[in-house]
Structure 1
Amino acid sequence: MPFSQLPPPLAEALRARGYDQPTPVQAAVLEPEAAGRDLIVSAQTGSGKTVAFGLALAPQILDADSVLPPPGAPLALVIAPTRELALQVGRELEWLYAGARLVSCVGGMDPSRERRALNGGAHVVVGTPGRLRDHLERGALDLSSLRAVVLDEADEMLDMGFREDLEEILDATPSTRRTLLFSATLPKPIVALAKRYATDALRLSTAGEERGHGDISYQAVAVAPADIERAVVNLLRVHQADTAMIFCATRENVRRLHASLLERGFDTVALSGEHSQNERNAALQALRDGRARICVATDVAARGIDLPQLSLVIHAELPRDAEILQHRSGRTGRAGNKGTAVLVVPFPRRRQVDGMLRGAKIKADWVPAPTPEDVRRGDRERLLAALLQPAEVDEEDVELGRRLAAERSAEELAAALVHAHRARLPAPEELLDGDAPHAAGPAGPRPGFADSAWFRMDVGRRQNADPRWLLPQLCRRGHVGRGEIGAIRIGADETLFEVAGASAARFLAALKRTAGPDGDDGSGVRIEPARPPTGGTGG
């Protein structure tokens, strides 16, 4: 159905906002077969789904003459997983249904003010599960006249533990109400929820065969475990995104990476469960108005955030599964904009990541980690492009330029300008070069290795073991230099390596200090003493 066939108030609102044609999800919910039916819609965040369900709700909100009835008990209820998403949905519906009375009920806002607003009547209520349940139990939320309920990002609400809240809210709605369930993915819990609360639901999918977003290009960068943070720095510098989001697995790692990026000179904010609502609001506002360009966040803290200018997502710590990968990456590539998602992959986990990408039907390009020269090359190209752009100057600029030209040559002035520009940029990071270790030769052991000690690592060829990342890790774990590591022999599932005799005791002591309960240092690689391999002991 083209927009011109919609109720006149909605068609006019869309025209005023510059909407010419419906997006795929909007077109799907407007098809004649979807009219009046319960819907299960698989659509990505940023695909225009808020406007889609807003349009689908028109028969339940407007009367036969396409006019809003007087406000009373709400006619439609929209439930979203986070405060940010609920408020964003509310803003969208406000312009779509001009003149409608819409009440938002979300955590972090004054509940007594929300109750007063509900008592004054509403056409649509938008809220988060916990706050809506609270108003329902207090008798402030009257669902007796409800004609439709929308569950937005239903998979995330279940992931966040809102099942009981949702069930209590849905159980309080009339059995005749229409149910619209929107979800990026449709795992078994979502299907079970729909089976219980939807009747003869029509399933619509606009995500396509590829589970990744069509407007997101995926890259994977394999690095030594000790190089992850340095690789993140170089990725930020190479891409120079207007806004970037970096994902970590824990609050502690968010705190550490945030502090490290601030120290390096990046304009960075952090979002995790340890931040208050006011801190969260301040961080998001800093991103929106350009005072910050980078956000370091945990999975849960980033849910429901909409930053239209976000063009880069970096997975500094790998997602637990393909669904989390999709949710994280879906922060970019929204509403027709292009985005890039980069996975920073420790060498031992490359096989695991390959499997996750295959399972998600996401094609990712494996690319080398950016080097300092890559960063500097990008800086040069951007600087030349910026300085060669036509610029508007006033008389004061021209006069200052004359004074400078009288004191210095054009070459000196250009060099000073370049230096001033580069001085503002965080320095790129040198990654461990992973030079190939010394190989055993026919002339016998190298000096210092006649009484060498051998150790075993529980990674081998099947785990993509490679001397380029093994050697830097051995040096870091054992607090030794490259010259103190001898032969490295990589087997199918294990690697044997040699440490100079004079360094073996120090190497073993360092291993014990840095090892956790499972014998590794958190990298997932265990190191322990071993017998010399058959066929010689020398490096």
Structure 2
Amino acid sequence: VYGGASISDQIRKIKRGAQIIVATPGRLIDLIERRVVSLGTIKYVVLDEADEMLNMGFKDAIDEILSGTPDEKNVWLFSATMPREVREISKNYMNNPQELTMGERNQGNENIDHQYIVVDERDKYQALKRMVDYTTDIFGVIFCRTKIDTQRVAESLMKDGYNADALHGDLTQMQRDRVMKSFKNKTLQMLVATDVAARGIDVTGITHVIHMNMPDEMEYYTHRSGRTARAGKKGISLAIVSKKEMGKISQIEKALKRRFTKIMIPTGDEVCQRKIMELTRKMRNVEVNEEEIDSFLPEVYHELIDLSKEDIIKRFASIEFNRFLAYYRDARDLNKSDRTKSFVSDDRYGRDDRDRDRDSRPSGDRVFINIGRMDGLETGDLLGLICDYGEIDKGKIGKIDLKGAFSFFELEKDVTEQVMKGFEGVEVRGRKVRLEMTGERREGGGERRERSGGGERSGGGEGGVGYQRKRRSFDGGSGSGEGKVGSEGKRSYGGGGGRSYGGGGGRSSGGASGGERKKRW
């Protein structure tokens, strides 16, 4: 049972009788509240991908579910990593838990061939297409860092005639099911995905895992690469890296104790040669249905009677060859990367892939955001959030200053308002996100807030100015500074004036909650 699908159908199936229920936390709580499911007599509780569920903000939901289970039960936690929160759950809901570790930490699959290519940042999409064109019968997963990058790469591939689709957190359950069904049936050749969306994918026969961006954490690289080389088969993990990312290759090599192989991106001529030979092999190995085709051949012979054998071969090969020749004629060598920084847009990719040094660029607007390391974020995570919800390119973002409970980041002035609006109603780890403009630094008082991400000014506390904005509630309405009790009797905080760091103010509660949460990270 899971959200996004008909709950009536799920209730009907449960009432017929079920010994095992596989559920997402939110839908299970809904069924418990409807008195469709009772956990009072269960014997086993299994939490799969426990670390990712906690990362996605399900800790309260998991606590609520486990609190309704009997004291005498078997609890099994499956987790690729063992963060503090997972250990807390094991202490609270398990008696004398035993930890079983399969393999060694960061141990890679010996059947995976780890490869990388080095290109300018602006050429990554072109390099991806060239590798796909050169590789015969590729069936793979392409990983991107953010949801926006994932959607853009997938759309660009489809626009350029490739059999690809996207898988990320903004898809509905119905869309996700459709994409995964196509991929499992191999009617979809390439799946472009984020790390979280692809977690747990178990599809046989994946030949390649391609990294458009190297992940910030070692575990994510292991999880990504583990999609291929299953059931004793061999597979390739290919990283498309810029010069700035070469350090990550070295770090992963040391952690995995495996050498990565640097390969060269094929030239346009090499791609054309590979394609014409691929077509030749298909022609040679094609199965001929003698009985059914015989009646059609006389007209074919008559049509080709004036052509020699050599002419027929040339024309047949040109059917496929001409398309690639037209595209790759005079194609430049992508392996040559003389510059360390690139400011050129790749129009075919539909975005500006400028690779800038964020700390040295001129500052624009400086923005406060009420999330930081305590929410499990690293700099790369916050960068991805700003790009996703602000719908901007990373080149618009300057220095990111990540703190414990809050952070600051710089934006080019022309996108500040867009980013402010994009974060309205967003939650991170269950916390309502609040953005404010900052002013100059004040003596003994931190930074003065100038403008809040949505709207209306309200009285602040002593020693500073507080601002309050209208917050989108979960049912589409907006809330004021006063807290309201939602449908589950829980008070929602964080949507109003918010905690003011270094400048007084106070913590005010957010608007009413209820219904489906539309923006959550």
2:126 counterpart (226, 230, 237): 230
Q: Give 2:473's aligned residue.
A: none
Q: Give 2:249's aligned residue.
A: 353
Does 2:157 correspond to 1:261? yes
Q: Give 1:416's aligned residue.
A: 315
- Larger relative contact order (Cα-Cα within 8 Å, sequence gap ≥ 6): 1
Distance 2:21 2:102 in 1: 26
1:316 deviates by 0.8
Q: Give 1:470's aligned residue.
A: 339
Match of 2:237, SS state, is strand
Distance 1:396 1:339 in 2: 44
Q: Give 2:47's aligned residue.
A: 151
Distance 1:412 1:292 in 2: 35
- Between 238-247 and 410-419, the greater mean CA deviation after superposition: 238-247
Match of 1:108, SS state, is coil
Match of 1:219, SS state, is strand
1:366 deviates by 2.4
Deviations 1:385-413 (Å, cap 9, x if unpaired)? Answer: 32222622331464455335523111111
Does 2:398 correspond to 1:518? yes
1:351 deviates by 1.3
Amino acid at match of 2:261: D
Q: Give 1:373's aligned residue.
A: 269
Amino acid at match of 1:189: E
Distance 1:322 1:108 in 2: 32
Distance 1:375 1:261 in 2: 17
Structure 2 CA distance for partners of 1:145 and 1:107, relative to 1, 3 Å: same
- Between 143-152 and 353-362, the greater mean CA deviation after superposition: 353-362
Q: Is the 8 A contact 2:167 2:194 kept in 1?
A: yes
Q: Give 2:167's aligned residue.
A: 271
Structure 2 CA distance for partners of 1:301 and 1:118, relative to 1, 3 Å: same
What is the 5 A alignment of 1:298-447? 298-389=194-285, 391-394=287-290, 395-396=294-295, 398-399=297-298, 402-423=301-322, 427=327, 430-431=331-332
Q: Is the 8 A contact 1:241 1:312 kept in 2?
A: no
Structure 2 CA distance for partners of 1:396 and 1:296, relative to 1, 3 Å: farther
Distance 1:187 1:226 in 2: 36
Deviations 1:2-48 (Å, cap 9, x if unpaired)? Answer: xxxxxxxxxxxxxxxxxxxxxxxxxxxxxxxxxxxxxxxxxxxxxxx
Identity %, equivalent residues: 28
1:321 deviates by 1.1
Distance 1:362 1:164 in 2: 40
Distance 2:37 2:140 in 1: 39
Q: Is the 8 A contact 2:40 2:69 kept in 1?
A: yes
Q: Which runs of 5+ in 2 are unaligned?
A: 346-359, 361-393, 401-521
What is the 5 A alignment of 1:3-42? none
What is the 5 A alignment of 1:176-215? 176-208=72-104, 211-215=107-111
Amino acid at match of 2:29: R
Structure 2 CA distance for partners of 1:169 and 1:374, relative to 1, 3 Å: farther
Distance 1:256 1:365 in 2: 28
Q: Is the 8 A contact 1:154 1:190 kept in 2?
A: yes
Q: Which runs of 5+ in 1 are unaligned?
A: 1-104, 436-467, 478-493, 495-513, 521-539
Structure 2 CA distance for partners of 1:131 and 1:413, relative to 1, 3 Å: same
Q: Give 1:296's aligned residue.
A: 192
Q: Is the 8 A contact 1:210 1:361 kept in 2?
A: no
Match of 2:230, SS state, is coil
1:434 deviates by 7.2
Deviations 1:86-143 (Å, cap 9, x if unpaired)? Answer: xxxxxxxxxxxxxxxxxxx112222233233333332111111221122223322111
1:418 deviates by 1.3
Distance 2:319 2:288 in 1: 20
Distance 1:365 1:301 in 2: 28
Supply the RMSD in Å over aligned alpha carbons.
3.1
What is the 5 A alignment of 1:128-147? 128-147=24-43
Amino acid at match of 1:385: R
1:173 counterpart (44, 69, 72): 69
Q: Is the 8 A contact 1:233 1:428 kept in 2?
A: no
Distance 1:353 1:330 in 2: 17
Q: Is the 8 A contact 1:244 1:293 kept in 2?
A: yes
| TM-score, length of structure 2 as denominator length | 0.60
Distance 2:250 2:123 in 1: 20
Match of 2:398, SS state, is coil
Q: Is the 8 A contact 1:230 1:431 kept in 2?
A: no
1:251 counterpart (126, 136, 147): 147
Q: Give 2:12's aligned residue.
A: 116
Q: Is the 8 A contact 2:207 2:236 kept in 1?
A: yes
Structure 2 CA distance for partners of 1:338 and 1:403, relative to 1, 3 Å: farther
| TM-score, length of structure 1 as denominator length | 0.58
Amino acid at match of 2:168: S
Structure 2 CA distance for partners of 1:416 and 1:262, relative to 1, 3 Å: same
Q: Is the 8 A contact 1:144 1:174 kept in 2?
A: yes
Structure 2 CA distance for partners of 1:280 and 1:434, relative to 1, 3 Å: closer
Larger Rg: 1
Aligned length: 348
Amino acid at match of 1:371: T
